A and B are shown apart, each in its own frame.
Chain A
Amino acid sequence: MSFFATESYFVQGCEDAESSETRFRLCQELWDKIKTDTEVLQDELNRKILDSLLDFTRKCSSTRQNSDWASQMRASEIPTAALMLGVNIPDHDMTFQSLSDMLKQSVSPHVASVQAKECGGKGLRHQSEILLCSPHRLCFKCPRVHRSVHCSLGILCDWYAARTKVGAQTTVGKKRSSQVRDEQQQPPVVIIFKDLEAFNPRVLQDFILICSQYIDRLPLTFIFGIATSPSTIQHMLPHSVSSLLCIELFQSLSCTQHLATVIDKLILTSHIAFKLNGKVMQVLIGVFLYHDFSVRNFIKGLQLALLEHFHSQPLSVLCCKKKKALFNVTQLSKPNLDRIRQLPSFKRYVEKQEAQEQVNLMTDDSHLKELCQQLIKDLHKYHKNYYPILRCLHTLTSSLPRYPLGKQARVLTCFPFRMLAKGELVSLLQKCVEILQLSKSKKMKNALVQLEELLARFKQLDKEIASRWYNREGGGVLNQTTLLEMNESRRAKRLSPFENLRNEALKFIDNLVKSHLSPPESQPLYEVCYYSSSATVRRHLNATPRTSIQAALSNPYHYLQNDSLKSEDGTVSNAAPDICIAYKLHLECGRLINLYDWLEAYSTVVLAAEGNDPDSEHFGKVDEVKHARFIRAVSELEFLGFIKSTKQKTDHVARLTWGGC
């Protein structure tokens, strides 16, 4: 049901309605793929830290159960994991979700998550009450023993004791089917504080104090989600409270690393046909680095670009897997073929062809389709070669000092290879070989063979030099004069065999890059796969409320799309909503606005709009309805923050914005 609903939204106002259904389906498929891929990726990235957290909770519950002298003597502390997550709060939800899922699966069924905003309320007592109730509500669905009895940890303890007793009996009944179950007779009660910073410190302190009184009966474990730094704990909790906790730190992956992996796996691959062009990419990464550090928002941005692309570009039917795309080419309609002819990249391609071919392409539809199939194939091939080479280049350049890691670094002529020692160079080339081994295309395999050859020669060189050294050392004592001589001879010779080989390698890589790393804009039909409208993405992701309010007030047609509101040269028509008229008039005033003058001006405009004769005797009189409308418009402006009442002068309001007419 909802599927059809979204589809009809998609089809509505979509360019080229015929293919919209196909495009919608393609879009859905791609998005599903991206979504599952990111989820898998995120799970993988979080695995390490989640596993160590699980170990921690397990270890805590097992140490609690042994009773040697030291653990009896030790003050019973509540085991606490401080989970450092970074400031990208929107991303945390997913981490906590998978954490609590994993905990429930493998450690304990009793997991509760609390969020500061759920514990809001008037007064400390009220807030603590909510916090106390939350474990009941969220994880145990504990039936209240008596209707009027309030939630308290005491009741929770009783419930827990009853619960574990039942559990123990059943496991005995099962003849101790599993050893694990046996150990877990007292599963810990885990409480996750999703955002520690946002909690009221007093409430948190009280809660910890209460919990510590029950720790011998109820095996509690806390997990603190911390966005800033661990010293927050010390800022929030006094020593008397933090001495009740046994805190261990867990550091999660930094968000920049996280994003790098996501980009690497989702965008810099040939698996996903949909691509972003450089500018859109820049906008998305800009939002990430400048504003929120949130990977989730980045993927949302990617989703937006995906939707926009399939929605606005009719030729996006070709943006899919190669086989399907080739099939879709044959299904192209006449208008779509014309659209292809209009594409700038295609035009550029045509211009390079011979005259007869040009005419053929422009007139013969079936010929065009054939060519398109070929071009689509080329595009896919291009992608297959592009990304491995890009990675090679990245590995080569990333270790160079102060070399900008531009994605499209095509200026290889000034490549400062000469600074590299041989060992490093060989290891870098080795890495390149590894990258190239992953790719399957023919050309890459060819390059791989050549590269391996080069590498072998480097190693050969190595051996030669080593043997030469060995010979010399064997011959006699190496004194300083011989060393100096050697240096001089080296300088004189200029090009050692190593240098020769190095230059050869450089040339080889240069050629490789030049042939495969041409910018995507140069490929014919690139518009099919690349989304390039960075302005749309920016407008949607970087909301500017002030600008849109001003646009709505000064140009109501922009939003209302009513023809009577259309006006030239930026003036507001008389028929515009009251608030627009009031806004327009207030722009003409200085810092202080006389309300009466404003009202007069307003009523003049409105009367003119109603078509009253300016010379009639009623003209200029303000009736009650108009007065009320005016007052409403003024208070709306006040609410929007354009004016405020002032005590400097009676009957005046102060303007809060500058500029205007």
Chain B
Amino acid sequence: MTALLQHPGYDEERLKGVAEKLPCREVQAEMLLSLMGQPHQYSYPSILIYGHRASGKSHVMHVLMKELELPHATVSCVECVSIALLFEQVLLSFFGCDAPSLLPRSPSLSDFVRVYRQQCSQSPAKQTRYIVMEKAELLRDTDASLLSALLRLQELVGDNVTVILLSEIAWDKFRPNTGCFEPLLLHFPDYSKSELQQILSQNVHSSYSAGFYSAYINILLGVFYSVCRDLRELRHLAALNFSKFCEPLAEGKVKETDTHKLWKHIEPHLKKAMQTVYLREVSSLQWEQMQQMEEKEAGALRGLSAHTHVELPYYSKFLLIAAYLASYNPARTDKRFFLKHHGKIRKTNFLKKNEKTSNHLLGPKPFPLDRLLAIFYSVVDSRVAPTASIFSQISSLVTLQLLAQVSHDDQLDAPKYKCAVSLDFICAISRTVNFDIVKYLYDFL
């Protein structure tokens, strides 16, 4: 199997090392190596590698670059909040720490190309240089010219350089409207179940046999494979639950080979893990503590989403209720709900054709500040002076993200808001102030 990787120009021992570190990705590594050619040869200007999360893109590139000692710069596009950072990192890893200081304060693409050319003439490439860009899909959000320039950087700087883009998104969603140089596309498929089994089984715990651990992985995959195929997550879960799996063994109840009993023991535990620690309802630290505790004590630990209760000042509660009513009731119906002598108007009179659907299905609608205050004053039971603190409560509700400001920040005149809380939440709030909100909601008329 390892004999597959044979390429002129690279040390065979090293290639062997590469092959060992890349299980189940030999084909892709082979493909890449043949694209890269021999070190001194010019390579293809740009390559796009795409595949799902944890399909080994970065890992393969990393191993290849490190093991074969190729000159490279690895840049993560999340990290490069400005293009200056990107340029600096590339120059730093190719030409040493003096190069970035040649860039002006906020460099443009042409500055980068100029500095690169200048440095390149001093230390020309003896072998292909690689720029590996992780999470390349974020390049779409930056200046449109950056992506097209990177794709043909080889041509621009006149150097033996190859840009390798790693992305979770296929090239079709990338391509700029204006057209650009087409990179070579390389797809990394997801690992299959047997491949996952093979990779995960490699991390054997030193005090247990490989067969035992492999059986454990098999059980783990049986539970989790249907919901999660992320190698990283699976490895994490395997680490968290292994001690529980070994428990009967340590107590001497079962032998290593008695897989069925072991399965009986661990299966409910893994099911529970799927609902809690996998969803990050419970952190991994707490999960480990739970395993050490007794069964009944563990029940006391509540997940993150269990805490939804929010304590608010009295008027803030009413402001939130008013905001909810304003967001989910059509403005025409305010008269029906908040005027004393509204007459008898049936729901059918209000209904327009397109309003047959529930407002709760459509989501909150924006409303102006005036309407919010008008509803607030008719909802709150006592007389409230329009003091500054009422207004500041509205803005603190916005900071708490219970309301969302729809209009632009600069618009002081008539700001518009949306209510950003759920029906359950508002029902809980209105119960604390003895306000029957359902009676005031158009949808439940």
Q: Which chain B residues lie closer than 8 Å to A210 at the CB level?
A: 76, 78-79
Known: A73-B235, A243-B280. A228 touches B401 (CB 8 A): yes
Whether B385 and A544, one on each chain, are in contact in the complex, defined by CB atoms closer than 8 angstroms, is: yes
Whole-angstrom distance between the Cβ of A127 and the nearest chain B Cβ: 9
Residue of B nearest to A195 (CB): B399
Closest to A291 in B: B389
Which of A89, A213, A240, A248 touches B283 (beta carbons < 8 Å)?
Answer: A248
Chain A CB count within 10 A is highest, among B105, B232, B236, B280, for B280
Residue B240 CB within 8 A of the other chain: yes
B104 touching A148, Cβ below 8 Å: yes
A160 within 8 A of B: no
In the assembled complex, which residues on chain A have CB atoms less than 8 Å from the CB atom of B82? 125, 129, 150
Would you call B101 and A147 a contact (CB within 8 A)?
A: yes
In the complex, which of the residues A75, A128, A227 has the most CB atoms of chain B within 10 Å of its own CB atom? A75
- A213→B385 CA distance, assembly (Å): 53
State whether the Cβ of A109 lies closer than 8 Å to any Cβ in chain B: no
Name the residue of chain B whose CB is nearest to the CB of A286: B314
What per-residue 1/0 map shows which CB atoms of A227-241 lie under 8 Å from chain B? 111111111000110
Q: Which of B84, B238, B313, B386 contacts A293 (CB 8 A)?
A: B313
**Contact residues, B365-413 vs A (CB, 8 A):** 385-390, 393, 396, 399-402
Are A87 and B312 in contact (CB-based, < 8 A)? yes
State the CA gap A89–B285 with chains docked (Å).
Answer: 29
Q: Which residue of B141, B238, B307 is within 8 Å of A230 (Cβ)?
A: B307
Residues of chain A contacted by B305 (CB below 8 angstroms): 230-231, 234
The answer to whether A229 and B236 have CB atoms under 8 Å apart is no
Q: Is the CB of B280 within 8 A of A247?
A: yes
B387-A543 in contact (CB<8A) = yes
What chain A residues lie within 8 Å of B206 (beta carbons)? 69
Determine whether A175 belongs to the interface, using a CB cutoff of 8 Å to chain B.
no
Q: Which of B53, B232, B313, B386 is the one whose CB lies under 8 Å from A290?
A: B313
Minimal Cβ-Cβ distance residue in A for B84: A150
Contacts of B310 in A (CB 8 A): 87, 228-229
Give the residue of B76, B101, B238, B385 whose beta carbon is less than 8 angstroms from that of A73.
Answer: B238
Using C-beta atoms within 8 Å of the partner chain, give the interface range for chain B: 35 or more
B386 contacts A206, C-beta separation under 8 Å: no
Contact flags (1/0) for A542-554 with B, using CB distance below 8 Å? Answer: 1111110000000
Q: Does A209 contact B (CB under 8 A)?
A: yes
- Assembly CA distance A248 to B302 (angstroms): 11
Instruction: List, in ascending order, chain A residues with CB within 8 A of B399's CB.
Output: 89, 195, 197-198
A287–B392 Cα distance when bound, in Å, is 13
Kindly report which residue of chain B lies nearest to residue A545, judged by CB atoms.
Answer: B388
Task: Check A129/B313 contact, CB under 8 A, given A543-B389, A544-B386, A544-B387.
Answer: no
Q: Which of A80, A89, A290 has its CB near the most chain B CB atoms (within 10 A)?
A: A290
Of A89, A147, A248, A547, the residue contacting B396 (CB under 8 A) is A89
The answer to whether the Cβ of A7 comes within 8 Å of any Cβ in the partner chain is no
Q: With CB as the reference atom, state the residue of chain A lying closest to B204.
A: A69
B81 and A129 contacting across the interface, CB-CB below 8 Å: yes
Contacts of A248 in B (CB 8 A): 283, 285-286
Q: Which A residues touch B233, using CB under 8 A?
A: 75, 243
Is A70 part of the binding interface, using a Cβ–Cβ cutoff of 8 Å? yes
Q: How far is the CB of A232 from chain B (nearest CB, A)?
A: 7
Within 8 A of B (CB), among A603-656: none
Contact of A125 among B81, B101, B103, B385 (CB under 8 A): B81
- The 0/1 profile, CB within 8 Å of B marked 1, for residues 61-101 of chain A is 00000000111011101011010101101000000000000
CA distance A314 to B125 in the complex (A): 88
| Pair A75/B81 contact, Cβ less than 8 Å | no
Query: Is B304 interfacial (CB-CB < 8 Å)?
Result: yes
Is A287 in contact with B389, judged by CB distance below 8 angstroms? Answer: yes
Q: Which residues of A contact B390 (CB under 8 A)?
A: 291
B27 interface hit (Cβ, 8 Å): no
* Interface pair A73/B285, CB less than 8 Å apart: no
Q: Is A254 an interface residue (CB 8 A)?
A: yes
Assess whether B97 is interfacial by the CB under 8 Å rule: yes
A292 & B101 in contact (Cβ 8 Å cutoff): no
Residues of B within 8 A of A255 (CB): 311
Shortest distance between the CB of B390 and any CB in chain A (Å): 8
Q: Is the CB of A149 closer than 8 A to any CB of chain B?
A: yes
- B349 contacts the other chain (Cβ, under 8 Å)? no
With A129-B82, A148-B100, A290-B314 as contacts: A77 and B284 at CB distance below 8 Å = yes
Contacting residues, chain B, for A124 (C-beta < 8 A): 141
Within 8 A of A (CB), among B218-256: 232-233, 235-236, 238-240, 242-243
Question: Complex: how many Å from CA A149 to CA B97?
Answer: 10
A249 touches B400 (CB 8 A): no
Cβ–Cβ < 8 Å partners of A368 in chain B: none
Q: Is the CB of A231 within 8 A of B304?
A: yes
Question: In the complex, what distance in Å separates the CA atom of A243 from the CA atom of B399?
Answer: 25
- Cβ-defined contact, B239 with A73, below 8 A: yes
- The answer to whether residues A228 and B279 also contact, given A246-B285, A291-B389, A542-B387 and a CB cut-off of 8 A, is no
Closest B residue by C-beta to A88: B313
B263 in the interface, Cβ–Cβ < 8 Å?
Answer: no
A406 vs chain B, min Cβ distance (A): 19
Pick the contact of B97: A146, A197, A232, A543 (CB < 8 A). Answer: A146
Which residues on the B side are within 8 Å of A232 (C-beta)?
401
Q: Are B280 and A254 touching (Cβ within 8 A)?
A: no
Decide yes or no whether A161 CB sits under 8 A from chain B. no
Query: Nearest Cβ distance between residue B108 and chain A, in whole angstroms?
Result: 14
> Is B188 at the interface (CB under 8 A from chain A)?
no
CB <8 Å contact, B97 and A542? no
Q: Is B304 a contact of A227 with CB atoms below 8 Å?
A: no
Question: Bound complex: CA of A70 vs CA of B208, how far in Å?
Answer: 13
A546 and B386 contacting across the interface, CB-CB below 8 Å: yes
- Could you tell me if B401 and A197 are in contact, using CB atoms closer than 8 angstroms? yes
Cα A84 to Cα B304 with chains together (Å) = 12
Per-residue interface assignment for chain A, residues 388 to 428, with 1 indicating a CB less than 8 Å from any chain B CB and 0 otherwise: 00000000000000000000000000000000000000000
Hey, which chain A residues are within 8 Å of B88, CB to CB? 148-150
CA gap between A91 and B312 in the complex, in Å: 14
**B101 adjacent to A229 (CB under 8 Å):** no
B105 & A240 in contact (Cβ 8 Å cutoff): no
Q: How far is the CA of A569 from the CA of B393 in the complex (A)?
A: 37
A197, A246, A292, A546: the one contacting B400 at CB < 8 Å is A197
Complex Cα–Cα for A128 and B142 (A):
14
A293 to B312, CA, bound (A): 8
Is B308 at the interface (CB under 8 A from chain A)?
A: yes
CB-based nearest B residue for A237:
B280
When the two chains form their complex, are residues A233 and B304 in contact, meaning their CB atoms are under 8 A apart?
yes
> Complex formed: what's the CA distance from A242 to B101 in Å?
37
Question: Is A245 an interface position by the 8 A CB rule?
Answer: yes
Give complex CA distance A654, B402 in Å. Answer: 34
Q: Is the CB of B79 within 8 A of A231?
A: no
> In the complex, how many angstroms separate the beta carbon of A398 from the nearest chain B beta carbon?
21
Q: Within the assembled complex, what's the spacing in Å between the Cα atoms of A86 and B400?
A: 10
The answer on a CB contact under 8 Å between A149 and B304 is: no
Chain B residues contacting A89 (CB-CB under 8 Å) are 396, 399
Q: How far is the CB of B167 from chain A (nearest CB, A)?
A: 15
- Please name 13 pairs of A and B residues whose Cβ atoms are closer than 8 Å in the assembled complex, sorted by A: A74-B239, A74-B284, A75-B233, A125-B82, A126-B81, A213-B79, A229-B310, A230-B305, A232-B401, A289-B313, A542-B388, A542-B389, A545-B388
- Other than the known A148-B104, A248-B283, what 11 A-B pairs have Cβ atoms closer than 8 Å? A69-B206, A73-B238, A84-B307, A86-B311, A148-B88, A198-B401, A213-B76, A228-B401, A230-B305, A245-B280, A293-B312
Report A's interface with B, CB cutoff 8 A: 69-71, 73-75, 77, 79-80, 82, 84, 86-87, 89, 124-126, 128-129, 132, 145-150, 152-154, 195, 197-198, 206, 209-210, 213, 227-235, 239-240, 242-243, 245-249, 254-256, 287-293, 542-547
Give me the 7 closest cross-chain CB pairs, A-B, nearest first: A73-B239, A75-B236, A543-B388, A291-B389, A128-B81, A542-B387, A129-B81
Interface residues of B (CB under 8 A from A): 53, 76, 78-79, 81-82, 84-85, 88-89, 97, 100-101, 103-105, 141-142, 203, 205-206, 232-233, 235-236, 238-240, 242-243, 279-280, 283-286, 304-305, 307-316, 385-390, 393, 396, 399-402
